């Protein structure tokens, strides 16, 4: 199932328990009960939720793994999915959930294991029954043990070249040798090879006791009904005493030295990371004293540590926070370094420790704690409540970690903080409790971490280097954050479907007033269309740099706004730039005016250099990411007539200067068309004013919307097959096949989606579960402009792409028969789940504004497109859909993309697209829009 949750060092902020989303609200009602077998249960009923969901937290995790069976807790998590006495058929659990529009997953953390699912309301009783059997009658059939070990191993293989995982494991390996966290918790085929059936069963018997488990269920159904469902299904988990276990709070021995770990990354990362072992925060987690450390140190405003490091040219980013689990805690700081910062890492480290010293010298910054409390309360009242698995995972974990009473209120609970708790915490922020990691290409290394092969060196510097950290002082001007002026002290409340308010050569403006959520919030979207934004790598690079640069410059004043629940972003796209501002009405217009003014404001040369460097690193590192992501980007070059890939951005980023950027901005804003949508708690006059603010700040000549960029998409001739082959940059192979199904009118689109959903499980089960080709296996449908596609994708570390292709094609060839023989009841269930998906309620003003913006400008102003799709789904007949599967698979109008691992054996057949430019010239591309505006088209 999903990889283990990243521990504190890499989570960057607070631990899962402290960040657990809030679930308190007037409309959501709760009931807590303890069954006779000791199982603790939280039930939540909410008439507004779109799906039912449940989660079981078990109070055992990887830290309880025996030394000679590392990964055992994770392996057991996988084995429990196989089958049980009541439902002996393999995979029937996930098939049942998928057929009812749901899914399931699980993860093994250090101190607990969480299982969860989500499903349509009607299917909840059976889903709960199947779920309960995990814990009542699992067969743990050892005939499948090797297969599951292989799944665990391929999960690990997927992580081996990922720097996040590598650093996490390296950190663990440096903890006290006798601490259970110093282990390899994912497991692989080596660590699990000798695990005996008795060991696995004994582990289950020891810890999977109802009194060591908490269940959470959230549904539209009433509490009485939920209680009856749960009592009946979960009473059968046999009672018994769980084996007691715990972990020591001390993760690191105190050493009076600077412990420097130099690490060679895979990607071109430059980071300084500080890991500090702090006293266990769990006993007073509900008073949240630790939140102020992250708030203070992670501040990005004026006078912050990051602002100072940027001025020195040493850093581009900084994050900090405390985290942990029931047994132990840590505090971590991650600084993104510039090349100069790598050379001067000692200065950066000293400044970080100087900040710790400042925290120790200053009184408890109670105003920061109050701000966190106010924001949590506002969030609880006005933000959309979490749903589905997100909601129940938090409920079950919180019930396990903090008790049934507070389970739904952990995020909003701010118990009166005790000063001695805070003092004890900041007293620990000393170099003797810390590990300092310097992560950069070319650092000195002399050894390898055994499970991931991470190259590193470890050095203990005593004497002066250590004393300098201990006594470090911050320069004048760096201080704790000032009180935040954007946090609202009072808020006031003011036609539902947007109306067209303005349409002239320079502006198209839609406006809608929220009548549903009744929150004092607005969401403003303005897309600045400009033909100069894209078209060449240079233009694309400069547009991106400009957007990133503006975001960077805005950071110092927008950071407090962000903390106060306002958000703003400026995103580059092929068409131009999209500016959004969302949050409390009172402050949103102030923020919009500040951002608009900055559009034409001065460009800071140092910010430019930081942004350029970051963009360059990102583009250079892109090929080293997941192989399927890289292949999809290469594929886009064929499929979209004008597309710029990250590879092509590299030279453009290398050459870009501040003068280029300034000239590009002049060109970008010479002629523009604004596409705007303002929605929420505002009047039509407010909406006009918002657009006027941007219009005046830009001062552009008006441009008709039709003169802006439209993507043109490849349309293959019927029966045409294109085979594209390349060598990748990682150890992964990848295959992607895109079948072009036909024009993307509403009926074809719905048929393709139905096919995608019906066949997803068959493809996945065959390719991933049975043939074990790799961890990432995907199939589905999508439309790009007026071209509808079915897509199949496999990424593999073990099978070469031609082999993947042969196996995938054999599987795909069997799909038409499989679809034709689908029982009508199952066809109906899939149709129904697609209809249910479309009926999902939008949960906030911002979500609704995003939906309306898309409908206004990408769906021809058809705000009722969802109803059109539902009508088309209702009208589909199984026979016509079956015919479409058959025509598609047999017609072979398709693109086959193959990516082989770096340095692997060459392809045996010649490449079909040796020259991409020539290919694009010779083919037909269409800019036709998909069928959204024509609800009455004939068939």
The site for Zn ion (CB under 5 A) is made up of 1, 155
Q: How far apart are CA 523 and CA 677, in angstroms?
A: 8
Q: Give the H/E segment covering residue 443.
A: none
For residue 178, give Cα distances in angstroms to 67, 187, 592: 10, 19, 55
What share of residues in the chain are helix, strand, coil (percent, to 5)?
45, 20, 35
Residue 241's CB: how many other CB atoms inside 10 A? Answer: 10
Q: Is residue 565 a contact partner of residue 585, using CB atoms and an 8 Å limit?
A: no
Shortest distance (Å) from residue 451 CB to Zn ion: 16
What region does 938 belong to: left with phi over 0, alpha with psi -120 to 50, or beta?
Answer: beta
DSSP 769: I
Q: What is the DSSP string of 714-728?
A: EEPPTT-EEEEEEE-
Residues in CB range of 882: below 8 A, 6 or more apart:
816, 819, 820, 822
Nearer to Zn ion (CB atom), residue 1 or residue 507? 1
Sheet holding 894-900, edge to edge: 721-727, 894-900, 733-743, 787-796, 776-784
Q: How far is the CB of 77 from Zn ion (least distance, A)?
A: 6
| Closer Cβ to Zn ion, 107 or 131, answer by number | 107
Smallest distance from Zn ion to CB 824, Å: 35
Smallest gap from residue 606 Cβ to Zn ion (A)? 44
Task: Please state the closest distance from residue 510 (CB atom) to Zn ion, in A.
Answer: 45
Provide the minimum distance between the beta carbon of 1 and Zn ion in the complex, in angstroms, as a whole number. 4
Torsion of CA 738, 743, 745, 746, to 10 degrees: -30
Q: Whose Cβ is closer to Zn ion: residue 76's or residue 661's?
A: 76
CA separation, residue 75 to residues 179, 189, 237, 572, 902 (Å): 21, 10, 21, 43, 31
Sign of CA dihedral 207, 210, 212, 216: positive
In 3D, which of 230, 225, 218 has the Cα closest to residue 34? 230
Rounded to a whole number of angstroms, the minimum distance from the CB of residue 400 to Zn ion is 20
Give whichever of 107 and 456 is closer to Zn ion, judged by the CB atom.
107
Torsion of CA 265, 266, 271, 276, to 10 degrees: -60
d(CA 913, CA 895): 11
Residue placing its CB nearer to Zn ion in the complex, 75 or 653: 75
Nearer to Zn ion, 183 or 548 (CB): 183
Minimum separation from the CB atom of position 768 to Zn ion (A): 12
Instruction: Compare residues 295 and 777 and give the one whose CB is closer to Zn ion.
Output: 777
What is the spatial distance between Cα 524 and Cα 496, in angstroms, rounded to a whole number?
15
Q: Which residue has its beta carbon closest to Zn ion?
A: 1
CB of 288 to Zn ion, least distance (A): 31
Given the complex with Zn ion, which of 155 and 686 has the nearer CB atom?
155
Q: Where are the alpha helices (DSSP H) in 214-344?
A: 223-234, 291-297, 305-311, 339-343
Helix (H) and strand (E) counts for the chain? 33, 27
Output 77 or 868, the one with its CB closest to Zn ion. 77
CB of 160 to Zn ion, least distance (A): 15
Nearest approach in angstroms of CB 156 to Zn ion is 9
* Residue among 775 and 853 whose Cβ is closer to Zn ion: 775
Minimal distance, residue 780 CB to Zn ion, in Å = 22
Judged by beta carbon, residue 46 or residue 155, the one nearer Zn ion is: 155
Q: For 432-483, where are the alpha helices, taking DSSP H only? A: 464-470
Complex with Zn ion: residue 155 or 300, whichever CB lies closer = 155
Minimal distance, residue 218 CB to Zn ion, in Å: 24
* Cross-strand partners of 672: 702
For Zn ion, which is the closer residue by CB, 155 or 868? 155
DSSP tag of 640: B
The smaller minimum CB distance to Zn ion, of residues 155 and 264, is found at 155
Q: Which of 141, 136, 164, 205 is nearest to 3 (CA)?
A: 164
Closest CA to 374 of 493, 491, 293: 491
In the bound state with Zn ion, the residue whose beta carbon lies nearer, of 2 and 924, is 2
In the complex, what is the shortest distance from the CB of residue 113 to Zn ion, in angstroms, rounded to a whole number?
A: 10
Closest to Zn ion by CB, 156 or 282: 156
| DSSP SS3 for 579 | strand
Q: Which helix (H) or strand (E) holds 319?
A: strand 315-324
With b for 16 or more beta-carbon neighbours within 10 A and e for fewer, the 727-761 pattern comes to: ebbbebbbbbbbbbbbbbbbbbbbbbbbbbbbbbb
Helix (H, G, I), strand (E, B) or coil at 272: strand
Closer by beta carbon to Zn ion, 195 or else 808? 195
Please report how close the Cβ of residue 72 comes to Zn ion at its closest, in angstroms.
13
Q: What sections of 238-290 are H helices per DSSP?
A: none
Q: Shortest distance, CB of residue 546 to Zn ion, whole angstroms?
A: 42
Stated as kind and residue range, the H or E segment containing 859 is: none
CB of 141 to Zn ion, least distance (A): 18
Measured between alpha carbons, how far is 647 from 614 in angstroms, rounded to an integer?
15
Tokens 């002066």 belong to: 464
**Closest among 106, 110, 109 to 138, alpha carbons compared:** 106
> Residue 4 or residue 691: which is nearer to Zn ion going by CB?
4
CA 385 to chain centre: 18
Question: Closest approach of Cβ 109 to Zn ion, in Å?
Answer: 12
């Amino acid at each position: 199932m999903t990889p283990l949750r990243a521990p504190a060092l890499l989570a960057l902020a607070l631990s899962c328990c402290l960040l657990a989303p809030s679930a308190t609200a007037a409309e959501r009602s709760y009931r807590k009960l303890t069954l006779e077998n000791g199982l603790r249960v939280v039930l939540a009923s909410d008439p507004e939720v779109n799906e039912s969901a449940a989660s079981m937290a078990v109070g055992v995790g990887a830290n309880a793994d025996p030394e000679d069976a590392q990964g055992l807790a994770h392996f057991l998590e996988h084995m429990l999915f196989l089958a049980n006495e009541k439902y002996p058929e393999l995979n029937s659990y996930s098939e049942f959930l998928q057929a009812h529009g749901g899914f399931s997953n699980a993860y093994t953390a250090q101190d607990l294991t969480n299982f969860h699912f989500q499903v349509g309301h009607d299917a909840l009783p059976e889903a709960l029954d199947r779920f309960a059997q995990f814990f009542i009658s699992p067969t743990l059939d050892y005939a499948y043990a090797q297969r599951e070990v292989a799944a665990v191993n391929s999960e690990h293989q997927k992580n081996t070249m990922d720097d996040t995982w590598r650093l996490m494991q390296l950190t663990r390996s440096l903890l006290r040798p006798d601490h259970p966290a110093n282990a390899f918790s994912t497991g692989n085929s080596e660590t699990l090879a000798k695990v005996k059936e008795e060991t696995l069963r004994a582990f289950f018997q020891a810890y999977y006791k109802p009194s060591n488990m908490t269940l959470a269920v959230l549904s539209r159904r009433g509490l009485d009904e939920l209680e009856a469902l749960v009592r009946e299904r979960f009473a059968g988990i046999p009672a018994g005493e769980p084996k007691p276990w715990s972990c020591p709070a001390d993760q690191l021995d105190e050493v009076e030295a600077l412990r420097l770990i130099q690490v060679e990354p895979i990607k071109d990362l430059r980071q300084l990371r500080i890991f500090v072992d702090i006293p266990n925060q769990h006993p007073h987690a509900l008073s949240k004293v630790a939140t102020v450390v992250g708030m203070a140190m992670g501040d990005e405003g004026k006078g912050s540590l990051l602002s100072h490091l940027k001025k020195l040219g040493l850093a581009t980013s900084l994050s900090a926070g405390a985290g942990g689990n029931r047994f132990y805690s840590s505090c971590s700081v991650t600084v993104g370094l510039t090349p100069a910062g790598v050379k001067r890492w000692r200065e950066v480290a000293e400044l970080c420790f100087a900040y710790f010293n400042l925290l120790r010298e200053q009184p408890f910054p109670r105003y920061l704690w109050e701000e966190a409390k106010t924001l949590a309360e506002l969030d609880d009242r006005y933000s959309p409540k979490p749903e589905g698995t997100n909601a129940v995972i938090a409920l079950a974990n919180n019930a396990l970690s903090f008790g049934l009473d507070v389970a739904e209120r952990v995020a909003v609970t701010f118990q009166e903080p005790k000063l001695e708790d805070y003092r004890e915490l900041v007293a620990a922020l000393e170099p003797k409790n810390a590990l300092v990691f310097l992560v950069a290409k070319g650092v000195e290394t002399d050894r390898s971490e055994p499970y991931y092969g991470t190259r590193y060196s470890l050095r203990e510097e005593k004497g002066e280097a250590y004393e300098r950290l201990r006594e470090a002082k911050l320069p004048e001007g760096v201080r704790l954050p000032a009180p935040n002026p954007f946090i609202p002290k009072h808020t006031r409340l003011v036609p539902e479907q947007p109306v067209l308010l303005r349409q002239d050569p320079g502006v198209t403006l839609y406006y809608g007033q929220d009548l549903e959520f009744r929150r004092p919030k607005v969401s403003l979207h303005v897309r600045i269309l400009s033909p100069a934004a894209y078209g060449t790598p240079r233009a694309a690079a400069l547009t991106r740099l400009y957007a990133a640069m503006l975001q960077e410059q805005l950071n110092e004043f927008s950071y407090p706004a962000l903390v106060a629940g306002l958000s703003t972003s400026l995103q580059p796209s092929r068409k131009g730039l999209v500016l959004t501002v969302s949050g409390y009405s009172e402050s949103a217009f102030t923020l919009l005016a500040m951002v608009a003014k900055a559009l034409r404001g001065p460009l800071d040369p140092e910010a430019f250099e930081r942004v350029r460097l970051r963009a360059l690193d990102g583009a250079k590192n892109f090929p080293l990411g997941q192989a399927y992501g890289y292949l999809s980007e290469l594929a886009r070059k064929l499929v979209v007539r004008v597309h710029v890939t990250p590879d092509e951005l590299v030279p453009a980023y290398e050459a870009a200067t501040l003068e280029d950027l300034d000239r590009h901005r002049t060109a970008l804003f010479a002629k523009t068309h604004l596409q705007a949508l303002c929605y929420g708690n505002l009047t039509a006059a407010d909406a006009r004013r918002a657009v006027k603010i941007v219009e005046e700040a830009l001062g552009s000549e008006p441009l008709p919307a039709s003169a802006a960029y439209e993507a043109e998409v490849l349309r293959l001739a019927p029966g045409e097959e294109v085979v594209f082959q390349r060598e990748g940059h990682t150890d992964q192979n990848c295959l992607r096949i895109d079948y072009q199904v036909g024009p993307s009118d509403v009926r074809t689109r719905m048929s393709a989606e139905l096919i995608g959903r019906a066949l997803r499980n068959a493809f996945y089960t065959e390719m991933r579960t049975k043939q074990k080709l790799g961890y990432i296996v995907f199939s589905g449908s999508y439309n790009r402009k007026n071209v509808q596609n079915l897509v199949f994708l496999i990424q593999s570390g073990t099978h070469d792409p031609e082999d993947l292709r042969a196996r995938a094609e054999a599987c795909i060839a069997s799909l038409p028969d499989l679809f034709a023989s689908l029982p009508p009841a199952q066809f109906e269930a899939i149709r129904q789940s697609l209809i249910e998906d479309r009926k999902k309620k939008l949960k906030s003003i911002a979500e609704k504004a995003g939906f309306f913006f898309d409908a206004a400008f990408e769906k021809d102003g058809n705000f009722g497109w969802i109803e059109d799709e539902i009508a088309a789904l209702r009208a589909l007949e199984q026979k016509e859909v079956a015919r479409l599967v058959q025509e598609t698979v047999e017609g072979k109008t398709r693109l086959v993309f193959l990516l082989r691992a770096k340095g692997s054996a060459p392809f045996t057949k010649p490449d079909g697209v040796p020259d991409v430019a020539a290919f694009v010239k010779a083919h037909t591309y269409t800019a036709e829009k998909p069928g959204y505006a024509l609800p009455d088209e004939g068939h």
